[in-house]
Amino acid sequence: AGGTLADRSGELPAGLEPLTTKPLLAVENGPKGIDLKLEAELAEMSEADAADFREGASALEEVVRRLSDELGLISFFTAGEKETRAWSLRRGRTALEAAETIHTDIARGFIRAEVIRWEDLVEAGSHAEAARRGLQRLEGKTYVVEDGDVLNIRFNV
């Protein structure tokens, strides 16, 4: 029974993983970290004005991105006529697991997933146009969802 604690943490009952195996992210205030004073001032401005002062993502966006990376999370999307929504999923998970994230009934009745990259969907303007251009593809339960995928999950319960 060798190996490190991190290697063996999967042998422990769910919910009892030691804190020492949890990811850690340090957020620093200052020139090499996040300038909280500047961020507070930018928060008082309109988004357009604040964007002129920033050299990229906001501090909040950067912290969320770093946390997602450290936790091994990706974002996938569902887009319908009334709502577009982002969902988080652990990297390496399947279309079936993504369906379960949305609703267990969808996973139970999973048939297939229509998949398109979000950039391709935006460029095409609609699912119908994306399909016409051949940008959308059909995937099964074992498809590994990628960061930025837009999923339309077909199911029957």
CB distance 144 to 92 below 8 Å: yes
Tokens 């205030």 sit on residue = 29
Q: Find the mean pLDDT for residues 56-77.
A: 85
Q: Which residues contact 114 (CB under 8 A, 6 or more apart)?
A: 127, 131, 136, 137, 138, 139, 151, 152, 153, 154
Specify the pLDDT at position 78. Answer: 96
Bridge-partner residues for 110, per DSSP? 155
**Predicted confidence (pLDDT) per residue in 96-134, tens digit:** 999 999 999 999 999 999 999 999 999 999 889 999 999
Name every residue whose Cβ is closer than 8 Å to that of residue 124 and which is 6 or more positions away in sequence: 130, 133, 135
Q: Record the pTM.
A: 0.71
Is residue 36 scored above 90 in pLDDT? no
* Residue bearing the bigger pLDDT, 46 or 138: 138
Q: Which fold has domain 73-155?
A: Ubiquitin-like (UB roll) (3.10.20)
- Region 47-72: what's the mean pLDDT? 82
40-57 per-residue burial string, b: 16 or more CB within 10 A, e: under 16 = eebeeeeeeebeeeeeee
What is the domain partition of the chain in residue ranges?
5-70, 73-155
> Alpha-carbon distance 105 to 48, whole Å?
41
